[in-house]
């Protein structure tokens, strides 16, 4: 039983460490913003193509 | 001048290392282990807010429907701008205030899209919403606990321009294609452009517009109201605050107009004014006023803590957009105050020396508002507070009595007249010029950074008086020209250069951090 708990704790610890390693890398190297800055031009092109009810 | 000889910033010393010519920063800041982990934890929190928001299908639909939504890709970038160079309590204060603003705006947008006819289209919810002018104190909503005050210009225009500097330019072009001149204030002009291009969410049982800002705002409101009423059938009330708001003889009229606005909302929503809720909100308004004064007291010491754009933006959100209606704000206020008190007691500084203590006057450039944080790190100038944060200091009636129910209309009118900015740009010479020098004395300021919004007519006539009186009082008056939310007219560096030139040529000073005197951020978000 204690071995099972220890194995579970180890898995949780590894998962937490993996989560931290990935997210901290994204955070520190600003990868989130570098990615979204690449998405923006596609969105702008999409908005340009939309039909709009333009009126004063 | 205040200087700490052994002061050393943990982590990155030269902040210019974070910048290249790109849209976003090269990397995030190294603040030492403790503060980097704190900042990382806060970043995770913002990611959670964004993930919760975008998980809803109607919000995804909105992302593809509204052009201004693209700016929200830059939310973490905006927070990074306000936390640049900060450590310890100052970092925690900015995160506590600005992260809550992010949460509040996300909640507002979620409500907007829930009721919006083009996305969520929840009609029952929409019927319980009142569209409220972004330039309105939401005091007249304090007695309607079951209704939502929706300030739709806040996410579409105001916040969008904090996020990315070019957020308004498309809408300005649209407005100008329809013959609106290019020299009006770009804020209402961009809002008019959003309306012309049908890019505003449409919801609400009715709308309330105000005259609280300026002629440009009235022009924009006219265009927006026309579309709201004639095309979408949303009746719109014009709440008209008197210009000379310090005069006793205008208060009866102002209170009467508040009564009419409340009656208008009751008529269109089938809801009744709730006095119990009003006075609960009034207590929170007073609590917020007391806390704001406590922050300013701390800023009057040698060790100011809650300063710059986050002070202003948090105050805008709390004082005007919230106006006592949410029980969440007092908790955040108290947390910020605690950090500020600790920081002051511990004599925490944001830079190795504070050479000048500045009051920021006039209307800020929205796309370069983080310049206030830059000033601390580049030149050792502490922005103690700003014109938009120096608002009502009077306590309003908070006990539910028959006399106070009548007084409440006057209090709501007073708050509406003292909306941020207009309480200084309207109301005569005393509120704009004389009181500035009184604030300089109270906060021991030796410098005034005078934003000169080149498309704003409100402050232009006073230029000479400001210069003459600042010279008499021995206060450094630095004029910094900008165009509010159009960076094509004045780039961010062109704005910062005006201060750089003053510091080098008039004061003969050298920057504390030369790596950020010139920043390659013309193409940045």
**Nearest-10 crossing angle of helices B308-315, B88-115:** 40
Q: What is the DSSP string of B361-382?
A: ESPPPGGGTTHHHHHHHHH-EE
Q: What is the mean predicted confidence (pLDDT) over B225-254?
A: 95
Which chain B residues are Cβ-neighbours of A39 within 8 angstroms? 73
Distance from CA of A40 to the nearest CA of B (A): 6
**Is residue B522 a part of any domain in this protein?**
no
Residue B384 to residues B357, B392, B425, B504: CA-CA distances in angstroms? 7, 18, 20, 22
Q: What pLDDT, on a 0 to 100 scale, did the predictor assign at position A20?
A: 98
Does residue B462 lie in a domain region?
yes
The pLDDT of residue B183:
87
Q: Which domain holds residue B35?
A: 18-516
**In the prediction, which pLDDT does B458 show?**
65
Q: Is ipTM over 0.85?
A: yes
Say if residues B16 and B27 touch (Cβ distance below 8 Å): no
Are the Cβ atoms of A30 and B199 closer than 8 angstroms?
no
Integer Cα distance of A14 and A11 in angstroms:
5
Nearby residues of B259 by Cβ (< 8 Å), 6 or more positions away: B409
Indicate the residue of B44, B196, B199 with minimum beta-carbon distance to A55. B196
pLDDT digits (tens, 9 = 90+) for B387-412: 999 999 999 999 999 999 999 999 99
- Interface probe for B, chosen from A31, A33, A34, A39 (most Cβ of B below 10 Å), is A33
- Residue in B27, B30, B197 closest to A52 by CB: B197
Q: What is the CB neighbour count within 10 angstroms for residue B237?
A: 23
More confidently predicted of B312 and B429: B312
Q: Please say if the pLDDT value at position B6 is more than 90.
A: no
Residue B452 covered by a domain: yes
- The mean pLDDT of chain B is 96
Q: Which residues of B touch A40 (CB under 8 A)?
A: 23, 70, 73
Of B27, B73, B178, the CB nearest to A29: B27
CA–CA gap between residue B173 and residue B182 (Å, rounded)? 9
What span, in angstroms and rounded, lies between the C-alpha atoms of B159 and B83? Answer: 17
A55 in reach of chain B (CB within 8 A): yes
The region that residue B324 occupies, defined by phi over 0 for left and psi between -120 and 50 for alpha, beta otherwise, is left
What confidence category does residue B74 fall into, taking pLDDT thresholds of 50, 70 and 90? very high
Test B70 with A30 for CB contact under 8 angstroms.
no
Contacts within 8 Å (CB) and 24+ apart, B341-347:
B341/B298, B342/B89, B343/B88, B343/B89, B343/B90, B343/B93, B343/B303, B343/B305, B344/B298, B344/B301, B344/B303, B344/B305, B346/B88, B346/B89, B347/B4, B347/B302, B347/B303
Nearest beta carbon to residue A27 from set B23, B24, B40: B40
Tell me the pLDDT band of B5, cut-offs 50, 70 and 90. Answer: confident
The pLDDT assigned to B217 comes to: 87
Interchain CB distance below 8 Å, A33 and B227: no
What pLDDT is attached to residue B437? 98
Is residue B456 in some structural domain? Answer: yes
Say how far apart CA B309 and CA B101 lie, in whole Å. Answer: 12
Q: Do B194 and B156 meet the contact criterion of CB atoms below 8 Å apart?
A: yes
User: Any CB–CB contact under 8 A between A51 and chain B?
Assistant: no
B5 occurs within a structural domain: no
Q: Residue B79 and residue B74: Cα distance in Å, rounded?
A: 9
Shortest Cα distance, chain A CAs vs residue B380, angstroms:
27
Nearest to A54 among B43, B197, B525 (CB): B197
Structural domain contains residue B525? no
Strand partners, B477: B448
CA dihedral B243, B246, B250, B253 (to 10 degrees): 80
**How many structural domains does chain B have?**
1
Token readout for B383 is 């922005």
Of B463, B464, B388, B466, the closest CA to residue B433 belongs to B466
Strands, sheet with B129-132, edge to edge from the N-terminal-most edge strand: B148-150, B129-132, B206-210, B236-239
pTM over 0.90: yes
Query: In this structure, is residue B524 part of a structural domain?
Result: no
Closest CA to B64 of A47, A49, A51: A47
Cα nearest neighbour of A36 on chain B: B73
Q: Which pLDDT does position B462 carry in this prediction?
A: 86
Q: Which residue of B has its CA nearest to A45?
A: B67
- Residue length of chain B: 525
What span, in angstroms and rounded, lies between the C-alpha atoms of B364 and B485? 9
Residues 6 or more apart whose Cβ sits within 8 Å of residue B361:
B386, B387, B436, B448, B449, B450, B451
A56 vs B: CB within 8 A: yes
Q: Where are the domains of chain A?
A: 2-49
Interval B272-283: pLDDT, tens:
999 999 999 999
The answer as to whether B523 is a domain residue is no
Mean pLDDT for B92-108 is 97
Contact B421, B387 (CB under 8 A): yes
Task: Tell me what percent of the residues of chain B surpass a pLDDT of 90.
Answer: 92
What integer pLDDT is reported at residue B477 of this predicted model? 97
Q: Which two tokens stand for residue B29?
A: 């800041």
CB spacing of A55 vs B227 below 8 angstroms? yes
Residue listed under structure tokens 């500035």: B436
Span B318-376, pLDDT tens digits: 999 999 999 999 999 999 999 999 999 999 999 999 999 999 999 999 999 999 999 99
The whole-angstrom distance between A3's CA and the closest CA on chain B is 32
Residue of chain A whose Cα is closest to the Cα of B180: A56
For residue A44, the distance in angstroms to the closest alpha carbon of chain B comes to: 7
């Amino acid at each position: 039983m204690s071995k099972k708990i220890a194995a579970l704790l180890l898995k949780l610890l590894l998962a937490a460490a993996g989560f931290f390693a990935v997210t901290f890398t994204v955070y520190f190297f600003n990868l989130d913003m570098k990615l979204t800055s690449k998405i923006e031009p596609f969105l702008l092109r999409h908005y340009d193509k939309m039909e709009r009810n333009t009126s004063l | 001048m205040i200087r700490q000889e052994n002061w050393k910033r943990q982590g990155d010393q030269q902040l210019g290392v974070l910048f290249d010519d790109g849209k976003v920063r090269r990397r995030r800041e190294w603040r030492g282990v403790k503060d980097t982990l704190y900042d990382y934890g806060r970043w995770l929190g913002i990611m959670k807010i964004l993930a919760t928001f975008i998980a809803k299908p109607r919000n995804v639909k909105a992302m593809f429907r509204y052009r201004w939504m693209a700016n929200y890709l830059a939310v973490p970038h905006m927070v990074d701008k306000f936390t640049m160079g900060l450590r310890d309590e100052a970092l925690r204060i900015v995160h506590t205030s600005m992260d809550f603003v992010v949460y509040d705006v996300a909640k507002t947008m979620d409500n907007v899209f829930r009721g919006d006819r083009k996305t969520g289209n929840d009609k029952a919810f929409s019927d319980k919403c009142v569209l409220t002018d972004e330039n309105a104190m939401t005091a007249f909503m304090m007695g309607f606990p079951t209704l939502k005050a929706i300030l739709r210009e806040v996410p579409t225009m105001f916040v969008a321009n904090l996020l990315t500097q070019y957020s308004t330019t498309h809408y300005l072009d649209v407005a100008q294609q329809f013959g609106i001149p290019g020299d009006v204030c770009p804020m209402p002009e961009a809002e008019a452009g959003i309306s012309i291009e049908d890019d505003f969410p449409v919801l609400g049982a009715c709308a309330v517009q105000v005259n609280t800002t300026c002629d440009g705002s009235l022009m924009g409101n006219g265009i927006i109201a026309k579309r709201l009423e004639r095309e979408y059938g949303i009746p719109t009330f014009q709440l008209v605050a008197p210009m000379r708001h310090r005069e006793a003889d205008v208060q009866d009229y102002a209170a009467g107009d508040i009564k009419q606005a409340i009656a208008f909302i009751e008529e269109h929503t089938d809801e009744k004014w709730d006095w119990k809720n009003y006075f609960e909100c009034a207590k929170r308004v007073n609590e917020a006023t007391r806390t704001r004064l406590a922050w300013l007291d701390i800023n009057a010491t040698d060790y100011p803590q809650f300063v710059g754009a986050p002070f202003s933006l948090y105050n805008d959100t709390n004082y005007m957009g919230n106006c006592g209606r949410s029980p969440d704000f007092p908790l955040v206020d108290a947390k910020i105050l605690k950090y500020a008190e600790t920081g002051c007691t511990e004599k925490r500084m944001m830079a190795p020396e504070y050479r000048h203590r500045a009051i920021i006057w006039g209307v800020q450039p929205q796309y370069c508002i983080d310049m206030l944080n830059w000033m601390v790190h580049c030149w050792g100038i502490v922005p103690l507070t700003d014109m938009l944060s120096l608002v009502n200091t009077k306590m309003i009636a908070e006990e539910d009595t028959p006399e106070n129910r009548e007084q409440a209309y006057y209090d709501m009118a007073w708050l509406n007249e003292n909306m941020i900015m207009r309480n200084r740009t309207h109301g005569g010479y005393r509120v704009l010029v004389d009181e500035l020098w009184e604030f300089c004395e109270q906060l021991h300021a030796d410098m005034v950074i005078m934003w000169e919004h080149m498309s704003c007519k409100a402050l232009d006539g006073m230029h000479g008086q400001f210069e003459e009186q600042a010279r008499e009082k021995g206060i450094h008056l630095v004029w910094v020209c900008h165009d509010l939310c159009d960076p094509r007219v004045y780039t961010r560096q062109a704005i910062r250069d005006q201060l750089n030139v003053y510091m080098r040529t008039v004061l003969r000073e050298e920057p504390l951090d030369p790596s950020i005197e010139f920043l390659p951020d013309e193409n940045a978000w």
